[in-house]
């Protein structure tokens, strides 16, 4: 019954998930077991890149869930992603121990530079993995809860919500740029050594993180799918299409929006937490409003309102980004900007919608 | 109220705080021991100096079918907004039965309490199927967790089936609601109201855009509902009103101009002046 | 033309002076030939005397200086000042070239031409007695200078350098004839400072009284030393009281200064946001490329300065209409090309215009450079207006404040008094109805958007004077601008004004104790909370239409 609901009725999703699963199995083998001079060898760089894309796909899922399904455009999802990333970064920093440049047993290098005497209270506990993981979920979740509660209760919707979420991530960016905040200021957190005792530079650790990201994406997809196929999912779509009708049908619209927003924020945070050990750095630039709006474009390009569309969008846009920023960095912003315009004007349902249209045409013939 | 008075209010020994009182019990029957089910008393609403409602008084009896007519701008829609909690009045009180103060409840609480509303423009969930539309409207636990984990009971599914038959959309139950015709959408919305199983139905212009046959059908349905539910119909179509009305209220400039049977109202010189005079 | 003249009084004066000077220079040879024809006059001309400074011994030089003093010439004060400071140089030619040095710059003392880099110039030597003589003369000259600013500066210099008996006498002599209140007050303060050191007890008491009204740093120092060290207890307490009253006034002026800075920041926000108030507030279009339109306006200013390097002084005045036109055209192109397909879909509009903003940024980066461009400030906009020793206002900020208000009221007038404004409001309220009564709504949409964009361009001209002109200029302002519009209440121009000014003030008053970055964060958080409380802003639109 549940498998029917989650998988079988979702052909596009099955296909995309199948591909993800396939890469998850093949890529580690090709990276670890195949000799480096073989044409089949997958380089460490590619593994890292794919791992990054998987995190982005999870992030795109979270954006699609509230934008595509509930019609709430958040331009601040980068904030939740980054907060998750910072929580993970703090754990990784604590793991450095006395191997920092200044060799202080407890303080981070940047704290030594600032002449701090002791570890600030909010850095306590992050040496424990479970605690850090709890914070990965709790901090962004709480922020989303408070922020969403305030916003939805006052019925801040549409563009207003978009603008204040953008202001939120902008404010956080400015705050994290400050050295006094105790998160490394401009440089952020970097120079990580190991995670759970595994060397971050080691090949196997990287592959492990890649697989972890992949599993997170699959689980995240299932969770989202569970939500959108439940009655709650239909209420959410109802809110998107006719909010007042939903309200007069007896649903407390605000709490639906709120819990979905909180869940989505946590999903984004998990993506951030997986992203940071793979790229080895988190800095305030991740909070920049541009990042948050880029995520929305992944979803728009892939096709909003379909969960696998978000994954397709995240992969294709980021692949294009990698391609163009390597071969012709100048043109990338032109292409990204053009993509924004094109998708909104010509492809409101994204790539997935395009396929749909073709396949439907095919059916008729 | 200044802070001192607020404090004094708190000290009063006979004071019963809201949080001690039990939450409004929606499942219990609305207390209608004194006759009317809906009391609208001295309600005024103004937008930027324009008085949309002006000391409006209206009592609806349990099981009554009431038609409300009035020229444009008479305050019909605003009145519905006030009853359903969308607009808060500047003054006045609105009670549902003896115990439920509607001015203290939010829209969804009022809806759960047993007041259903049909909008002027048919509003349904266009991206969902006809069945899903009715499913969402079904009277059941509407909290987030419940809707996430539980599906409908067999009883509720039977009820949906019943309503599908009643509104004549049995064949189309898998169809996306957005693809229905205008009349069918009106019907679907009425069906959704029925799924809510409300005590009071507020129906705003139910026959706008319907064919003659559909109008007749609607009139039949609404009359059959009266008795079990109280029905308030706002309508412009006089022929339709005549065909269903037992008691008619005429609104004009935000207050009641006349009330009575259709014949009484039509012969009232003031009503004639409002409709024809200008 | 008239309005331009009114806008640049300093500029006009300068032009006039330059022309006068050129006239002098041109007429020099004529003078020479006239002298040849007539018998040598008993009185040498000013120019000849200046040339004589370079020759002869010190005694002869003193005599020349005496003679120079009898001439009423604009250039005299500068030349003597330079001579005292050892900044007057001469070449060995006959007649010698006389130059004034200030920093690395050399200017011809007589015709004002630029001599920077010229070789063979040597300092004209002076000795101590000559220096004393010169100082007195310069002081006298400055004190009787027709320009009250020059006189004020002269008195200020005395106060800074310390007043001795000689200058006190000079000042006493000048005091009764001084016409300007400001200069007269300064002279009072200078004399009081002198009295405080040298006078008897009554004089000192009176001096303390006088100084309690002065805001000079020196007055405070003198009073403080009296309050701390003087033997007379009464004088000490009087001085302490005087310091207290001065502190109170300083606080007050600091407050005024803060208010002014706040308003000036507010006017920047106003300029950035007001175009948005039109496109977002009136049309309901979210234009994320608004910041880039501001940037284009700023680049227009730069372009004008590059194209017409001779017209730096006029560049801003040329740039205002140019930027308006260019950005308005870009805006209309955006509206016709993208936005008109997206009416009624605000979120899509937001995304599409954001894409455009990326394209515009990158276009500027590719066309010009990713680096900042330097925009020169014309002279009439630079400098400070010092109202008193603790309160001074930079002209840039003052002009931007005035300019922001001018743009605001001009826009208000356009919206309220012109047919275009009427049509814009009609379309924004009920498109179908407006069309029915014959308004070409498409055309109005384009024009409105053009108007909003044009104003963004004009804002860019103003911003080019205070921030770096680079491809990221616009990004820095977009969020702030949206916050201003939303805070003020969408669709309400007055609300935009009030909100811009109050945000400017709040930000400026938070800054001293929170730091610039944190102040900004706090303001943002405050705004976010405010919008939760009042989603429709400070001045919401009410009514049935607004409720839907």
Partner residue facing A333 (CB), from C342, C362, C524: C362
Domain ranges in chain C are: 43-141, 144-230, 257-547
**A242 at C interface, C-beta within 8 A:** no
Q: Of the given ranges (C5-9, C93-97, C172-176, C276-280), which has the lowest mean pLDDT?
A: C5-9
Residue of C429, C491, C543, C546 to mutate when probing chain B, most B C-beta within 10 A? C543
**Mean pLDDT (chain C, rounded):** 80
A162/C201: higher pLDDT:
A162
B69, β-bridge pairs: B250
Mean pLDDT, to the nearest integer, of B132-145?
Answer: 87
**Cα nearest neighbour of B192 on chain A:** A249
Could C547 and B87 be called an inter-chain contact, meaning their C-beta atoms sit closer than 8 Å?
A: yes
Question: Which helix (H) or strand (E) is C375 found in, with range?
Answer: none
- Residue A361's pLDDT is what? 57
Could A252 and B106 be called an inter-chain contact, meaning their C-beta atoms sit closer than 8 Å?
A: yes
pLDDT tens per residue across span C9-27 = 455 545 554 554 444 444 4
User: What are the respective helix, strand and coil percentages of chain C, to the nearest 5?
Assistant: 70, 5, 25
- Residue C15's pLDDT is what? 53
**Cα nearest neighbour of A297 on chain C:** C351
Residue A8, class by beta-carbon neighbours within 10 Å (0-12 exposed, 13-18 middle, 19+ buried)?
A: exposed
Taking contacts as CB-CB distances below 8 angstroms, the residues of chain A near C352 are 340-341, 344-345
C483/C294: higher pLDDT:
C294
- Residue A259's pLDDT is what? 95
Residue of A70, A148, A160 to mutate when probing chain C, most C C-beta within 10 A? A160
Q: Say if B49 falls within a structural domain.
A: yes
Taking contacts as CB-CB distances below 8 angstroms, the residues of chain C near A330 are 362, 365-366
| Smallest Cα distance from C281 to chain A, Å | 12
Q: Say if B6 falls within a structural domain.
A: no
- Residue C42's pLDDT is what? 58
Locate C324 and state its tokens. 């308006």
In contact, A28 and A41? CB cutoff 8 Å: no
Partner residue facing A167 (CB), from C346, C524, C533: C524
**B155 at C interface, C-beta within 8 A:** no
Backbone phi and psi for residue C99, each to the nearest 5 degrees, phi listed first = -130, 150
Domain count, chain A: 1
pLDDT tens per residue across span B24-42 = 444 456 666 667 888 999 9
Name residues whose C-beta falls within 8 Å of residue A232's C-beta, 6 or more positions apart in sequence. Answer: A256, B144, B147, B148
Q: Of the given ranges (B76-90, B185-199, C52-66), which has the lowest mean pLDDT?
A: C52-66
A11/B23: higher pLDDT:
A11
For residue C146, how far is the Cα from the chain centroid?
24
Residue B241, class by beta-carbon neighbours within 10 Å (0-12 exposed, 13-18 middle, 19+ buried)?
A: buried
- Residue B276's pLDDT is what? 66
- Residue B165's pLDDT is what? 87
| pLDDT-based confidence at residue A140 (cuts at 50, 70, 90) | very high
Backbone phi and psi for residue A106, each to the nearest 5 degrees, phi listed first = -115, -40
pLDDT above 70: residue C43: no
Cα distance between residue A134 and residue A362, in whole Å: 49
Chains that touch C (3 or more CB pairs under 8 A): A, B
pLDDT tens per residue across span B79-119 = 989 999 888 898 999 988 877 888 888 888 888 888 999 88
- Find which of A53-62, B227-236, C179-188, C517-526 is predicted with most confidence, using mean pLDDT: A53-62
Q: Of the given ranges (A8-17, A126-135, C17-26, C420-429), which has the lowest mean pLDDT?
A: C17-26
pLDDT tens per residue across span A221-247 = 999 999 999 999 999 999 999 998 999
C107, β-bridge pairs: C100, C114
Could C524 and A174 be called an inter-chain contact, meaning their C-beta atoms sit closer than 8 Å?
A: yes
**Mean pLDDT (chain A, rounded):** 90
- Residue B14's pLDDT is what? 66
- Residue B18's pLDDT is what? 56
Partner residue facing B127 (CB), from A241, A247, A253: A241
Q: Say if B9 falls within a structural domain.
A: no
**A219 at C interface, C-beta within 8 A:** no
Residue C119, class by beta-carbon neighbours within 10 Å (0-12 exposed, 13-18 middle, 19+ buried)?
A: exposed
**B47 at C interface, C-beta within 8 A:** yes
Cα distance between residue C249 and residue C211, in whole Å: 13
C304/C168: higher pLDDT:
C304
Could C547 and B47 be called an inter-chain contact, meaning their C-beta atoms sit closer than 8 Å?
A: yes
**Cα nearest neighbour of C529 on chain A:** A150
Domain count, chain B: 1
Cα distance between residue B123 and residue A233, in whole Å: 19
| pLDDT-based confidence at residue B243 (cuts at 50, 70, 90) | confident
| Smallest Cα distance from A36 to chain B, Å | 49
- Find which of A277-291, A336-350, C227-241, C514-528 is predicted with most confidence, using mean pLDDT: A277-291
A208/C195: higher pLDDT:
A208
Could B50 and C543 be called an inter-chain contact, meaning their C-beta atoms sit closer than 8 Å?
A: yes
pLDDT tens per residue across span A74-109 = 999 999 999 999 999 999 999 988 888 888 888 888
- Residue C139's pLDDT is what? 73
- Residue B30's pLDDT is what? 67
Q: Say if B15 falls within a structural domain.
A: no
Q: Residue B154 is part of a domain; what is its CATH number?
A: 3.40.50.300
- Residue C11's pLDDT is what? 53
Could B48 and C542 be called an inter-chain contact, meaning their C-beta atoms sit closer than 8 Å?
A: yes
Q: Say if B269 falls within a structural domain.
A: yes
Locate A305 and state its tokens. 């309102």
Which of 166-185 (A) contact C at CB < 8 A?
A: 166-168, 170-171, 174-175, 177-178
Q: What number of H helices and E strands is found in chain A?
A: 15, 4
Neighbours of A99 (CB within 10 A): 10
| CA proximity to A262, closest of A350, A170, A149 | A149
| Smallest Cα distance from A349 to chain B, Å | 14
Q: Of the given ranges (B108-112, B238-242, C213-217), which has the lowest mean pLDDT?
A: C213-217
Cα distance between residue B213 and residue B215, in whole Å: 5
pLDDT above 70: residue B10: no
Percent of chain C with pLDDT over 90: 17
pLDDT tens per residue across span C297-327 = 999 999 999 998 888 888 888 999 999 999 9
pLDDT above 80: residue C231: no
Could B136 and A259 be called an inter-chain contact, meaning their C-beta atoms sit closer than 8 Å?
A: no
Mean pLDDT, to the nearest integer, of C484-505?
Answer: 87
Q: Say if B220 falls within a structural domain.
A: yes
Locate C366 and state its tokens. 């590719």
- Residue C19's pLDDT is what? 53
Cα distance between residue C454 and residue C300, in whole Å: 12
| CA proximity to C441, closest of C432, C453, C450, C449 | C432
Could A231 and B112 be called an inter-chain contact, meaning their C-beta atoms sit closer than 8 Å?
A: no
**Cα nearest neighbour of C360 on chain A:** A334
Handedness of CA B214, B218, B219, B220 (dihedral sign): positive
For A31-34, which contacts have Cβ atoms below 8 Å and span 24 or more sequence positions? A31/A203, A31/A207, A32/A203, A32/A204, A32/A207
| CA proximity to A339, closest of B30, B191, C359 | C359
**B48 at C interface, C-beta within 8 A:** yes
| pLDDT-based confidence at residue C6 (cuts at 50, 70, 90) | very low
pLDDT tens per residue across span B164-178 = 988 888 888 888 988
| pLDDT-based confidence at residue C415 (cuts at 50, 70, 90) | confident
Q: Say if B127 falls within a structural domain.
A: yes
Residue A218, class by beta-carbon neighbours within 10 Å (0-12 exposed, 13-18 middle, 19+ buried)?
A: middle
Chains that touch A (3 or more CB pairs under 8 A): B, C
Could B135 and A245 be called an inter-chain contact, meaning their C-beta atoms sit closer than 8 Å?
A: no
**Mean pLDDT (chain B, rounded):** 83
**A102 at C interface, C-beta within 8 A:** no
DSSP code, position B276? I
**B157 at A interface, C-beta within 8 A:** no
pLDDT tens per residue across span C245-293 = 888 888 888 888 889 989 998 998 999 899 888 888 777 788 899 999 9
Mean pLDDT, to the nearest integer, of A286-297?
Answer: 92
| Smallest Cα distance from B66 to chain A, Å | 21
- For the domain bounded by C257-547, which CATH number is listed? 1.10.3470
Domain limits for position A164 = 2-364
**B204 at A interface, C-beta within 8 A:** no
């Amino acid at each position: 019954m549940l498998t029917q609901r989650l998988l079988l009725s979702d052909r596009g999703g099955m296909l995309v998930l199948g591909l993800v699963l396939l890469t998850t199995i093949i890529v580690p083998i090709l990276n670890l077991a195949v000799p480096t001079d073989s044409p089949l060898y997958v380089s460490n760089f590619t593994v890292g890149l794919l791992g990054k894309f998987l995190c982005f796909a999870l992030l795109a899922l979270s954006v699609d869930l509230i934008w595509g399904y509930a019609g709430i455009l958040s331009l601040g999802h980068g904030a939740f992603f980054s907060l998750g990333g910072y929580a993970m970064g703090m754990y990784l920093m604590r793991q450095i121990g006395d191997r920092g440049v200044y060799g202080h047993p407890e303080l981070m290098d940047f704290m030594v530079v600032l002449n701090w005497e002791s570890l600030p209270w909010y850095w306590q506990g992050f040496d424990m993995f479970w605690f850090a993981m709890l914070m990965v979920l709790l901090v962004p979740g709480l922020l989303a809860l408070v922020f969403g509660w305030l916003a939805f209760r006052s019925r801040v919707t549409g563009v207003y919500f978009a603008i204040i979420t953008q202001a939120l991530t902008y404010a956080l960016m400015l705050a994290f740029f400050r050295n006094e905040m105790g998160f490394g200021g401009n440089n952020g957190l970097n120079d990580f050594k190991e995670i759970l005792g595994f060397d971050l530079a080691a090949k196997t650790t990287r592959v492990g993180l890649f697989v972890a990201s992949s599993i997170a994406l699959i689980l995240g997809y299932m969770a989202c799918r569970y939500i959108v196929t439940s009655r709650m999912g239909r209420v959410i779509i109802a809110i998107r299409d006719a909010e007042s009708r939903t309200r007069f049908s007896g649903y407390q619209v605000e709490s639906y929006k709120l819990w979905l927003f909180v869940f989505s924020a946590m999903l984004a945070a998990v993506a951030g937490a997986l992203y940071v050990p793979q790229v080895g750095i988190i800095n305030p630039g991740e909070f920049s409003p541009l990042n948050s709006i880029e995520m929305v474009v992944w979803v728009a390009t892939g096709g909003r309102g379909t969960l696998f569309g978000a994954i397709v969008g995240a992969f294709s846009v980021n692949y294009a980004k990698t391609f163009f920023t390597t071969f012709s960095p100048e043109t990338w912003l032109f292409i990204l900007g053009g993509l924004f315009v094109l998708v909104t004007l010509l492809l409101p349902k994204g790539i997935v919608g395009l396929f749909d249209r073709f396949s439907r045409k095919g059916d008729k013939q | 109220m200044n802070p001192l008075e607020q404090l004094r209010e708190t000290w009063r020994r006979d004071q019963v705080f809201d949080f001690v009182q039990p939450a409004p019990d929606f499942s219990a029957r609305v207390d209608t021991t004194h006759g009317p089910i809906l009391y609208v008393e001295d309600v005024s609403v103004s937008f930027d100096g324009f008085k949309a409602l002006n000391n409006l008084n209206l009592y609806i009896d349990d099981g009554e079918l009431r038609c409300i007519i009035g020229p444009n701008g008479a305050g019909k829609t605003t009145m519905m907004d006030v009853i359903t909690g969308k607009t808060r009045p500047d003054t006045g009180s609105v009670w549902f039965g003896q115990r439920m103060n509607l001015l203290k409840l939010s829209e969804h609480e009022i809806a759960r309490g047993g007041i259903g509303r049909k909008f002027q423009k048919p509003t349904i969930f266009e991206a969902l199927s006809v069945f899903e539309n009715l499913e969402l409207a079904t009277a059941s636990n509407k909290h987030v967790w419940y809707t996430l984990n539980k599906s409908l009971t067999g009883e509720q599914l039977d009820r949906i089936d019943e309503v599908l038959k009643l509104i004549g959309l049995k064949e189309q139950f898998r169809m996306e609601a957005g693809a229905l015709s205008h009349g069918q959408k009106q019907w679907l919305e009425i069906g959704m109201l029925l799924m809510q199983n409300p005590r009071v139905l507020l129906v705003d212009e139910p026959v706008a855009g319907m064919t003659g046959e559909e109008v007749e059908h609607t009139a039949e349905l609404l009359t059959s509902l009266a008795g079990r539910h109280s029905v308030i119909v706002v309508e412009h179509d006089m022929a339709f009103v005549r065909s269903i009305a037992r008691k008619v209220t005429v609104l004009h400039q935000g207050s009641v101009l006349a009330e009575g049977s259709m014949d009484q109202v039509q012969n009232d010189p003031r009503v004639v002046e409002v409709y024809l005079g200008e | 033309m008239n309005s331009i003249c009114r806008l640049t009084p300093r500029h006009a004066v300068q032009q006039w002076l330059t022309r006068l000077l050129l006239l002098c220079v041109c007429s020099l040879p004529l003078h020479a030939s006239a002298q040849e024809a007539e018998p040598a006059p008993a009185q040498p001309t000013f120019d000849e005397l200046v040339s004589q400074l370079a020759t002869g011994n010190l005694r002869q030089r003193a005599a020349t200086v005496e003679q120079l003093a009898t001439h009423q010439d604009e250039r005299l004060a500068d030349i003597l000042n330079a001579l005292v400071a050892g900044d007057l140089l001469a070449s060995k030619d006959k007649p010698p070239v006389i130059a004034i040095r200030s920093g690395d710059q050399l200017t011809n003392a007589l015709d004002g031409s630029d001599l920077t880099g010229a070789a063979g110039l040597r300092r004209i030597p002076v000795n101590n007695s000559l220096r004393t003589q010169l100082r007195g003369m310069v002081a006298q000259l400055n004190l009787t200078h027709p320009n009250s600013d020059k006189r004020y500066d002269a008195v200020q210099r005395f106060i800074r350098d310390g007043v001795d008996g000689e200058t006190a006498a000079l000042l006493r002599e000048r005091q009764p004839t001084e016409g300007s209140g400001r200069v007269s007050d300064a002279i009072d303060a200078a004399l009081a400072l002198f009295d405080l050191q040298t006078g008897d007890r009554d004089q000192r008491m009176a001096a303390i009284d006088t100084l309690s009204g002065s805001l000079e740093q020196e007055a405070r120092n003198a009073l403080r030393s009296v309050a701390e060290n003087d033997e007379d207890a009464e004088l000490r307490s009087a001085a302490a009281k005087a310091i207290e009253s001065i502190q109170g006034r300083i606080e007050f002026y600091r407050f005024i200064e803060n208010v002014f800075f706040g308003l000036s920041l507010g006017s920047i926000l106003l300029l950035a946001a007001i175009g948005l108030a039109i496109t977002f507030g009136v049309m309901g279009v979210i234009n994320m490329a608004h910041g880039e339109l501001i940037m284009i306006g700023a680049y227009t200013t730069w372009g004008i300065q590059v194209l017409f390097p001779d017209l730096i002084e006029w560049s801003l005045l040329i740039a205002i209409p140019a930027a308006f036109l260019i950005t308005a055209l870009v805006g209309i192109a955006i509206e016709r090309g993208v936005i008109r397909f997206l009416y009624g879909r605000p979120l899509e509009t937001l995304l599409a215009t954001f894409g455009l903003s990326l394209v515009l940024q990158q276009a500027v980066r590719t066309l010009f450079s990713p680096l900042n461009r330097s925009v020169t400030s014309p002279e009439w906009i630079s400098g400070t207006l010092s109202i008193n020793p603790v309160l001074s206002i930079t002209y840039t900020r003052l002009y931007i404040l005035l300019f922001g208000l001018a743009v605001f009221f001009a826009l208000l007038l356009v919206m309220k008094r012109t047919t275009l404004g009427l049509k814009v409001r009609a379309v924004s309220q009920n498109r179908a109805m407006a069309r029915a009564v014959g308004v070409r709504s498409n055309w109005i949409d384009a024009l409105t958007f053009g108007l909003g964009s044009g104003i963004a361009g004009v804002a860019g001209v103003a911003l080019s004077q205070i921030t770096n002109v680079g491809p990221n200029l616009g990004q820095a302002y977009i969020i702030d601008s949206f916050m201003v519009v939303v805070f003020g209440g969408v669709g309400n121009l007055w609300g935009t004004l009030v909100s811009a000014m109050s945000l400017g003030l709040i930000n400026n008053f938070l800054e001293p104790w929170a730091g610039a970055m944190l102040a900004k964060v706090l303001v943002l958080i405050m705004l976010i909370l405010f919008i939760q409380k009042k989603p429709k802003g400070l001045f919401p639109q009410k009514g049935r239409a607004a409720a839907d």
